[in-house]
Amino acid sequence: MTPGKSLSPRYLAIPCALMASSAALAELPEPVRAMVDAAIATGDAQKVATVIELASQTNPGNAAELSALHEGFKEEQARIAAAQAKDKELAIRQSGIFDHWSGSGEIGAFYSSGNTSETGVTLGVKLKRQGIDWSHDLRGRVDYKETNGIKTREQFLFAYEPRYQIGKSLFAYGLAQYERDRFQGFLGRYAVSGGLGYKLVDNERVNLAVKAGPAFRVTKFLDGTSENRLAGLAGYDFDWKISDRVKFNQDTNMVAETASQGAIIFDASNTSVVLANGLEAKISDRLSTRLSFTLEYDSNPPEGAMDMDTLSRFTLLYGF
pLDDT digits 0-9 by tens, 178-199: 999 887 788 999 999 999 999 9
Residue 300: other Cβ atoms inside 10 A: 10
* 2 lies in some domain: no
270 and 296 Cβ atoms separated by less than 8 Å: no
User: What does the radius of gyration of the chain's CA atoms come to, in whole angstroms?
Assistant: 31
Q: Are residues 293 and 269 in the same domain?
A: yes
Q: Are residues 153 and 60 in the same domain?
A: no
* 29 lies in some domain: yes
Q: What is the pLDDT of residue 26?
A: 66
Q: Are residues 89 and 109 in the same domain?
A: no
Q: What is the pLDDT of residue 178?
A: 95
* 10 lies in some domain: no
* 3 lies in some domain: no
Q: Which of 31, 65, 94 is the last residue of a domain?
A: 94
Whether 237 has a pLDDT exceeding 90, the answer reads no
Alpha-carbon dihedral 73, 75, 78, 84, rounded to 10 degrees: -80
Q: What is the pLDDT of residues 221-230, one digit of tens each?
A: 888 899 888 8
Which CATH number do you get for residue 248? 2.40.160.40
Q: Are residues 166 and 142 in the same domain?
A: yes
Global pTM exceeds 0.75: no
* 1 lies in some domain: no
Q: What is the pLDDT of residue 267?
A: 67
Instruction: Quote the CA–CA distance of 155 and 291 in Å, as a whole number.
Output: 19
* 157 lies in some domain: yes
Whether 120 has a pLDDT exceeding 90, the answer reads no
Residue by residue, what is the 3-state secondary structure of the chain? CCCCCCCCHHHHHHHHHHHHHHHHCCCCCHHHHHHHHHHHHHCCHHHHHHHHHHHHHHCHHHHHHHHHHHHHHHHHHHHHHHHHHHHHHHHHHHCCCCCCEEEEEEEEEEEEECCCCEEEEEEEEEEEEECCCEEEEEEEEEEEEEECCEEEEEEEEEEEEEEEECCCCEEEEEEEEEEEEHHHCEEEEEEEEEEEEEEEEECCCEEEEEEEEEEEEEEEECCCCEEEEEEEEEEEEEEEECCCCEEEEEEECCCCCCCCCCEEEECCCCEEEEEEEEEEEECCCCEEEEEEEEEEEECCCCCCCCCEEEEEEEEEEEEC
Q: Are residues 36 and 176 in the same domain?
A: no
Q: Are residues 249 and 136 in the same domain?
A: yes
Q: Are residues 63 and 142 in the same domain?
A: no
* 8 lies in some domain: no
Domain count for the chain, please give it: 2
Q: Are residues 74 and 137 in the same domain?
A: no
Q: What is the pLDDT of residue 274?
A: 78
Q: Are residues 53 and 31 in the same domain?
A: yes
Q: Are residues 128 and 265 in the same domain?
A: yes
Q: What is the mean pLDDT of the chain?
A: 81
Instruction: Quote the CA–CA distance of 233 and 265 in Å, as a whole number.
Output: 5
Q: Which of 271, 248, 246 is nearest to 259 (CA)?
A: 248
Range of the domain at 72: 17-94
Q: Which of 62, 94, 126 is the last residue of a domain?
A: 94
Q: What is the pLDDT of residue 195?
A: 95
Q: Are residues 113 and 79 in the same domain?
A: no
* 56 lies in some domain: yes
pLDDT band at 280 (very low <50, low <70, confident <90, very high): confident
Q: Are residues 169 and 271 in the same domain?
A: yes
Average pLDDT over residues 101-118: 84
Q: Which of 68, 94, 120 is the last residue of a domain?
A: 94
Instruction: Quote the CA–CA distance of 246 and 213 in Å, as a whole number.
Output: 32
